[in-house]
Structure 1
Amino acid sequence: MGLLSSCRPKKDINRNEKRTVLILSIIFVAIFSGFIGIQNLQSTLNNEAGRGVISLSVVYAGFIVSSFFAPSFIRILTAKKCLIIGFISHVAYAASNIYAVFWTILPASTFVGLTSGLIWTSQGMYISRCAISFSETQNSPMKDSFGKFHGIFFFGMAFPRLVGNILSSVILMQGHYNETTANASDSFRIKSCGADLCPEHTVTDEQFSLPDPLTVKILMTVFVTSSIIGLLLCIFFLPPLPNLLPSSQKSALRNMISASCSCLRVNTEANLILLIPSALFLSFFESFLWIDISKAYISCPFGVKYVGFSMALQGLFSGFSSAVLPALAKLISRKYVISLIIVGILASHVGLFLWEPTSDQLLHMLGFLSLHGILDGGFRTLIFTVVSYMYPKKTDGAFASIATWRAIGYTINIILAYYLCVRTRLYMMFSLGALSLVTYVVLEIRLRMKKKITEIAIDEGSEHSVESRDSGQ
């Protein structure tokens, strides 16, 4: 760690909040351009024996474990060093996909999973600390700062989807394609795309055309290069958060236990319990995009080379939504915007039930993906804003908890994708969305009541202080 300490920038986040968030966003663009590009192609390019879906399930299963222990390691190593370790794993993951077989991508997937919790908990801490610092120095409302800085970051997170997916389509379109011929029985051949697609409908059975191996290797090499650039930017340009390294091994162990317990304690609080269905629904909604929509609604009717461009469009609208909807929530109230987003997602699921995409409906698909991006970007940004608002002094435990539940949602949905048809999982997602709407409304009612009680207590305290001064006179 000596090298990392020597590379630490001299500036901290104080009075450099916007600069820090901008640097963090650029780093995530470089790192996740590769990861998101690979993730969206896994269910198609590595469909043999379910290799792609299995590797993603390993990533998010490890994500669950690392999210729980993330506060402990962040207290010992600092948020910046945890980010560096996590980004090294993403370089390894991209490199493993150059020669994608089980013995290369499964260890790399495990490495990514066991460090992803560190990345996303550290990211939440960086954004929250910057927002709090900005609020204090500029004397602005803290909830507005949370919405502003999370909006800036997630607007930046649209660009990995743009860059990674456009690179995918541009490079894959340069390759040579060979139409594969199915040898399986007609019972396993695809009959329709969309909600009726099932796990037994493999790439070969569906007669998809796949790019030649050299083209895929070139694409993965580009993604490795992008990940390395992000890692170097993190090492040399990202300012550190305050070092929480304890002075002895005994205190280190005590701090690790305390940090893990803080994550558990947060999960026993009623407000976070009410937010859990929304976190799970968000993860189901996001993972459905790159597992099912990319395969059942894009690759199946239009071909794998359209996945990148389609996902890039979704990412563009997701970034736009991340910047605009927090501002809209400030104007008309956050609770109305989030509730409308959940209703919009449920309505889009009804459309997916009914729609059977065909090769002449590309514009329909692009319109749906634009709507998906608007709902996705706004939902994700505002959920993180709610977490920051509820736990401004316990960001490590709160964000670790939300990251854990999101990872659980990703893992469950990926595993279900290996066994269940798209239509069955759409029913499950619709039920979860309805539950999340109810629990979120209850959460907002509780937060409103707590705010009123706090205001009453402050007013009574002020009146008591005035009466005491009057009696003293």
Structure 2
Amino acid sequence: MTDAEMNSRPNGHYPSDGNVSFGNSKTKLANGTDPAHTKPSRVEDDWSSGKIIRNLICVSAAFLFLFTAFQGISNLQSSINCDQGLGVASLAIIYATLIFSAIFVPSFVIRHLGLKWTLVGSMCCYTLYMIANLYPSWGTVIPASILVGLGAAPLWSAKCTYLTTIGMRYAVIKRETRDAIVNRFFGVFFLFFQSSQVLGNLISSLVFSQDIKNSTGSGDDGVFKCGAKDCYTDTGSTEENGTNYCELNKPEAHLTNILIGIYTACGMAAMLTVAFFLVPVKPSEENQSSNTMELFGATMKLMMDKRLLMMIPITIYSGLEQAFIQGDYTKSYITCTIGVAWVGYIMICFGVTDALCSFLSGRVEKYTGRIPLFALGALVHVALVIVMVVWEPSAGQKPVFFVLAAFWGLGDAIWQTQLNAFYGVLFPFVQEAAFSNYRLWESVGFCFAFAYSNFLCVWIKLTILISMLESE
């Protein structure tokens, strides 16, 4: 997509200039635009740069706690809850519900609870999901998955609006462009957020390392077909893939319960961090919809903007690629070949790379622009998909598992930081509708990927990924 296409304004809507005013002050930023016709964002004038940074760190730390738990357990769902595909089914339900939630829930919740308490309430939904995994069944995990789906959209909408609002205030204080500051803030946030991959998987690795029987996988014995050739379904058919390797490699129940107990404590820590330390901020009036149907209308209306239409494929791909690394790479490559005990260690490598590249991409974009970064992310993932299709994993190739995960994290870091910041910068005065669209289309990718996980061979899933990249 060209710069001209990105900067177009159909019918004069959704301005993307770098103007903003706070309180009674009006500031002209580096690009020289006039904020005369904008409404004030609700960050009070007494907010200093130090106070803004403290609240940025507070939000980021809370997400670190929460997603240490959620990403850790999500990476293991296809391995620990493999009975009739319960694990990936729960993930599919989360993102299917999120599609509905992204349109109808954020406006109602944020308007009645505010940004701060929306974050707390949504984090409570995630914590209940952890508790449900102590008693995994279709009657406990699936309802909890629906709660997470309902809470996820308000969580991310509130977070994105909060960061963008304080970022705009910080840009005025420092007399820098809004684009640069918002990118920097999202880079800091995703440094914390992607670090949750490290902590969550380190915890699971340390806990499951006590389970000796799962220190190795079963792919080298000739019974299982791992990697791209894995055509595992919930029937456990011996004709396609030997037997149900997931059941054979399942960790001991008491260790799983210890792990989930730790993750539940992390979720509670996230709630308490926001409840006691985050200072409330109100989004600007132009960022608020008066009711749910107004957000629905605004979300649908924004889909007519050609800038958003061009971003839909890449946003769907963002969901597909995250679902693949969580559900398929962990199961069909790692668990199948070298055992579930290695899932955490390898995903730590993914998380470290993701976190560092998230932080760096927010700063590098200032010098390169977004298009070169998106191109780099696409090239890296295309190369990885080709390697995964032709590679036949074996237990003697452990370093390769780490390398592939690391480079996947590099690409994911670009998609996450740049897409989040891009939506905020392109549509600064319709943020709820913009981030509603973002979560909606990303959730479509997640939902489809987890929904077909138990029915397609891995090589077909990889083909879908590369097809989506080509469509961009």
What TM-score, normalized by structure 2, do the two folds share? 0.83
Q: How many residues were matched structurally?
A: 415
Q: What is the match of residue 56 of structure 1?
A: 91
Structure 1 residues 86, 173: CA separation in 2 closer, same or farther (over 3 Å shift)? same
Could you say which structure has the higher helix fraction?
A: 1
Describe how 1:380-459 pairs up with structure 2 within 5 A: 380-436=416-472
Structure 1 residues 287, 66: CA separation in 2 closer, same or farther (over 3 Å shift)? same
How far residue 244 of structure 1 moved from its aligned partner, in angstroms, is: 8.2
Q: Does 1:291 align with 2:327?
A: yes
Letter in 1 for 2:108: S
Letter in 1 for 2:256: V
Q: What is the match of residue 132 of structure 1?
A: 168
Residues 65-92 of structure 1, C-alpha deviation per residue, up to 9 Å, x if partnerless?
1111213321232122211111111110
What is the DSSP-based 3-state SS (H/G/I as helix, E as strand, rest coil) of the residue aligned with 1:356? coil
- The equivalent position to 1:342 in structure 2, one of 375, 378, 384, is 378
Q: What is the match of residue 63 of structure 2?
A: 28
Q: Which moved more, 1:192-201 or 1:391-400?
A: 192-201
How far residue 243 of structure 1 moved from its aligned partner, in angstroms, is: 7.2
What is the DSSP-based 3-state SS (H/G/I as helix, E as strand, rest coil) of the residue aligned with 1:360? helix
How far residue 200 of structure 1 moved from its aligned partner, in angstroms, is: 2.3
Q: What is the match of residue 233 of structure 1?
A: 273
Percent of aligned positions that are identical? 25
What is the DSSP-based 3-state SS (H/G/I as helix, E as strand, rest coil) of the residue aligned with 1:102? coil
What is the DSSP-based 3-state SS (H/G/I as helix, E as strand, rest coil) of the residue aligned with 2:250? strand
CA distance in 2, matches of 1:211, 1:218: 12
Q: What is the match of residue 193 of structure 1?
A: 226
CA distance in 2, matches of 1:150, 1:244: 19
Q: Does 1:100 align with 2:140?
A: no
Describe how 1:305-316 pairs up with structure 2 within 5 A: 305-316=341-352
Q: What is the match of residue 170 of structure 1?
A: 206
How far residue 392 of structure 1 moved from its aligned partner, in angstroms, is: 1.4
**Cα pair 1:299 1:306 within 8 Å, conserved:** yes
CA distance in 1, matches of 2:310, 2:217: 50
**Cα pair 1:12 1:239 within 8 Å, conserved:** no
Describe how 1:277-288 pairs up with structure 2 within 5 A: 277-288=313-324
- The equivalent position to 2:54 in structure 1, one of 15, 19, 25, is 19
Residues 377-402 of structure 1, C-alpha deviation per residue, up to 9 Å, x if partnerless?
12210111211220111111111110
Residues 19-73 of structure 1, C-alpha deviation per residue, up to 9 Å, x if partnerless?
1111001000111111111100000111111110111111111111111121332
Residues 329-365 of structure 1, C-alpha deviation per residue, up to 9 Å, x if partnerless?
2212221121121122112111111111100000011
CA distance in 2, matches of 1:378, 1:368: 16
Q: Which moved more, 1:200-209 or 1:420-429?
A: 200-209
How far residue 418 of structure 1 moved from its aligned partner, in angstroms, is: 2.0
Q: What is the match of residue 18 of structure 2?
A: none
Q: What is the match of residue 266 of structure 1?
A: 302
Structure 1 moving runs of 4+ over 6 Å: 178-182
Q: Does 1:219 align with 2:259?
A: yes
What is the DSSP-based 3-state SS (H/G/I as helix, E as strand, rest coil) of the residue aligned with 2:73? helix
- The equivalent position to 2:185 in structure 1, one of 149, 152, 164, is 149
Letter in 2 for 1:209: N
Structure 1 residues 190, 287: CA separation in 2 closer, same or farther (over 3 Å shift)? farther
What TM-score, normalized by structure 1, do the two folds share? 0.83
How far residue 321 of structure 1 moved from its aligned partner, in angstroms, is: 0.4
CA distance in 2, matches of 1:430, 1:367: 19
Q: What is the match of residue 369 of structure 1?
A: 405
- The equivalent position to 1:74 in structure 2, one of 87, 110, 120, is 110
How far residue 128 of structure 1 moved from its aligned partner, in angstroms, is: 0.8
Q: Which has the larger radius of gyration?
A: 1
How far residue 257 of structure 1 moved from its aligned partner, in angstroms, is: 2.6
Structure 1, unmatched stretches of 5+, are: 1-9, 183-188, 246-251, 437-473
Letter in 2 for 1:304: V
- Cα-Cα RMSD: 2.4
Q: Which moved more, 1:116-125 or 1:69-78?
A: 69-78
What is the DSSP-based 3-state SS (H/G/I as helix, E as strand, rest coil) of the residue aligned with 2:233? coil
What is the DSSP-based 3-state SS (H/G/I as helix, E as strand, rest coil) of the residue aligned with 2:134? helix
Letter in 1 for 2:76: L
Letter in 1 for 2:273: L
Letter in 1 for 2:334: I
- The equivalent position to 1:379 in structure 2, one of 394, 400, 415, is 415
Letter in 2 for 1:74: I
**Cα pair 2:205 2:342 within 8 Å, conserved:** yes
What is the DSSP-based 3-state SS (H/G/I as helix, E as strand, rest coil) of the residue aligned with 2:412? helix
**Cα pair 2:217 2:335 within 8 Å, conserved:** no
**Cα pair 1:71 1:400 within 8 Å, conserved:** no
